[in-house]
Amino acid sequence: MAATEDKVPFELLDVDNYATWAQRMKYLLVIRGLWTAVTSDTVDADLNQKAMATIGLRMKDHHLATLERCTTAKQLWQTLASTFEAKSNARKRQLRKELSQLKMGAAEPLTKYVARAKEIQNQLRAAGHDVGDQEVAWALLAGLPPAYETIVTVLESSTDAELKLNDLLPKLMPVEQRLTKAEAEGPSLRLEAAMAAKRNPSNQWRNETRICWTCGKIGHIAKNCEKAQQPGPRRILSAIAL
């Protein structure tokens, strides 16, 4: 049985994976009949040593000093739990803040933005805080620029019981594709506008064809966008507020 167990991938305890590591370690100790050494005050010395060795062999080197200071498997387990609980809570607060302040970058591809939101969700789960898809989806929508406002309004008004994170990308991609296409066509349109402005200088601003990545409209760029200078309501749910 032990040979089979050793073939199962087991991530060593590091600084940011305690929650998942502890779960897997518990299962391993149970399978090997060593979990009693962690839960009981009085345990056979041989059982205690085997439990401590099993735990120690699945820790990175910088944790070995903690192992050496402990005399029982129970003490080691409790020491690790108390040490990482404080670190885990701080990590959770940091990740929750990142989720609540999630915002798409000016030139960030939509796929990368969605992947970034999912990564925050994965990190929260690894820290022992399960965040549902719907909560992440709302945060993702709230961080989109005004160019996506129409589709965001449609999604927010949807009668679906639950907003699924994996369903967002296919619904948002057409907006990005239209913006990209309009930007790609910009040079030829600007040439036409320049020629028209030369013929009729009074129309030079009306012939502006650059695309604003803030509101998605033609005729100005993001730094000159009036909408970007307006505060506008945030659509982050109170559930993800700190």
Domain end among 47, 65, 89: 89
In a domain, 186, yes or no: no
Last residue of a domain, one of 66, 89, 112: 89
Q: What does the pLDDT look like over 66-124, one tens digit per residue?
A: 999 999 999 999 999 888 877 778 888 899 999 999 999 988 999 999 999 999 998 88
Residues of the chain falling short of pLDDT 50 = 189, 193, 203-207, 209, 231-242
Sequence-distant (6+) residues with CB within 8 A of 159 are none
- Per-residue model confidence (pLDDT) at position 84: 83
Domain endpoint, select from 39, 66, 89 = 89
Instruction: Please give the C-alpha separations between residue 107 and each of 110, 111, 113, 148, 200, in angstroms, as whole numbers.
Output: 9, 12, 10, 14, 34
228/45 Cα distance (integer angstroms): 68
Residue 205 belongs to some domain of the structure: no
Domain encompassing residue 18: 2-89
The backbone torsions φ and ψ at residue 209, rounded to the nearest 5 degrees and listed phi first, read -125, 5
- What's the whole-model pTM score? 0.53
Q: Do 20 and 11 contact (CB within 8 A), yes or no?
A: yes
67 within a domain of the structure (yes/no)? yes
Q: Are residues 63 and 153 in the same domain?
A: no
Q: Whole-number mean pLDDT of the chain?
A: 80
